[in-house]
């Protein structure tokens, strides 16, 4: 099979990232898979033939070293987490920093390191994993803000990259069956409550299919945004909650 190009996928050790690695390798891409968990990455490499890189996405020096020798045609910014997702006022300083450093700063850093090569070659594709939490007020100040940043990064990036031939796509999923809440919430009761929906959620493979659709479009076509969610999940509406004004005064 002729190689379609070189791809770098972050957050590749499980969930959406691992599904994207499987989808891309099966469709002729040479894939570099990046994540913290080396043993899982190695198992994925044994399965798919991808090249594993056990790196913490927040380690800027390690990213600099990696990208000095890697010139991807496709960057899939998938790594993300939801530390502090249960509420801003109960979050710790470390949880705020962890979410912003992973979901926003690392995305910008990888773009900074990757885009010069794409621009020089006159081609390339960036896929950023956003979320419906970045499009609608749903669940969390911290996580929603980080994914709202991802949305504006993509929209402004298209302006900066005009005339270069480099494409930018945002994938904004709703609920996906992954380890997201296992990693985001330490309290078992809270975690189980937020994890349990009773609906048929999206699978990581559904997101990988959407990404493959975007990257497989003809070179002159930019699939700017794909928003997808389970049929049983909706957003919006008006909510009311009473306040005891006499007590507050």
Query: Residue 171's pLDDT is what?
Result: 98
As a whole number, mean pLDDT of residues 218-222 equals 96
CB 101 within 8 A of CB 52: no
pLDDT at position 64:
96
Q: What is the pLDDT of residue 183?
A: 64
C-alpha–C-alpha distance, residues 97 and 81, integer Å: 11
What is the per-residue DSSP string for the chain?
A: ----EEEEEESTTSHHHHHHHHHHHHTTEEEEEEES-HHHHHHHHHHH-PEEEE--TT-HHHHHHHHTS---SEEEE-----TTTT-TTT--HHHHHHHHIIIIIHHHHHHHHHHHHHHHHT-EEEEEE--GGGTS--S-HHHHHHHHHHHHHHHHHHHHTTTTTEEEEEEEE--B-SSHHHHH---HHHHHHHH---S-PBPHHHHHHHHHHHHHS-TT----EEEE--TT------------HHHH-
pLDDT tens-digit readout, 68-118: 999 999 999 999 888 888 889 999 999 999 999 999 999 999 999 999 999
Residues of the chain above pLDDT 90, percent: 77
Q: Looking at residues 53-70, what average pLDDT do you find?
A: 96
190: tokens are: 């809270």
The average confidence (pLDDT) of the chain is: 92
| pLDDT one-digit tens code per residue, 122-179 | 999 999 999 999 999 887 899 999 999 999 999 999 999 999 999 999 999 999 987 7
Residues 6+ apart with CB under 8 A from 168: 125, 126, 128, 154, 157, 158, 161, 222, 224
Q: Tell me which of 136, 143, 181, 213 is the catalytic residue.
A: 143
Domains of the chain: residue spans and CATH: 5-248 (3.40.50.720)
Does the annotation mark 235 as catalytic?
no
State yes or no: pLDDT of 17 exceeds 70: yes
């Amino acid at each position: 099979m002729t190689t379609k190009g070189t791809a770098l996928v972050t957050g590749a050790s499980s969930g959406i990232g691992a599904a994207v690695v499987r989808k891309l390798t099966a469709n002729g891409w040479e894939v570099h898979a990046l994540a913290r968990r080396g043993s899982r990455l190695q198992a994925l490499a044994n399965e798919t033939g991808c090249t594993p890189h056990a790196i913490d996405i927040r380690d800027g020096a390690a990213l600099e070293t990696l990208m000095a020798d890697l010139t991807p045609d496709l960057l899939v910014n998938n790594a993300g987490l939801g530390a502090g997702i249960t509420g801003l006022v109960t979050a710790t300083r470390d949880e705020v920093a962890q979410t912003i450093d992973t979901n926003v700063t690392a995305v910008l850093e990888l773009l900074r390191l990757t885009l010069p090569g794409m621009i020089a070659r006159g081609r390339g594709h960036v896929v950023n994993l956003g979320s419906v939490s970045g499009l609608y007020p749903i669940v969390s100040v911290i996580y929603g803000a980080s994914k709202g940043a991802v949305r504006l990064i993509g929209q402004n990036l298209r302006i900066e990259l005009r005339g270069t031939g480099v494409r930018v796509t945002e994938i904004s999923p709703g609920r996906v069956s992954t380890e997201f809440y296992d990693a985001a919430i330490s309290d078992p009761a809270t975690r189980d409550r937020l994890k349990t929906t009773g609906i048929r959620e999206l699978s990581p493979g559904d997101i990988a299919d959407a990404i493959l659709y975007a990257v497989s479009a003809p070179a002159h076509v930019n699939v700017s945004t794909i928003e997808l969610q389970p049929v049983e999940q909706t957003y919006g509406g008006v909510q009311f909650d009473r306040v005891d004004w006499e007590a507050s005064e």
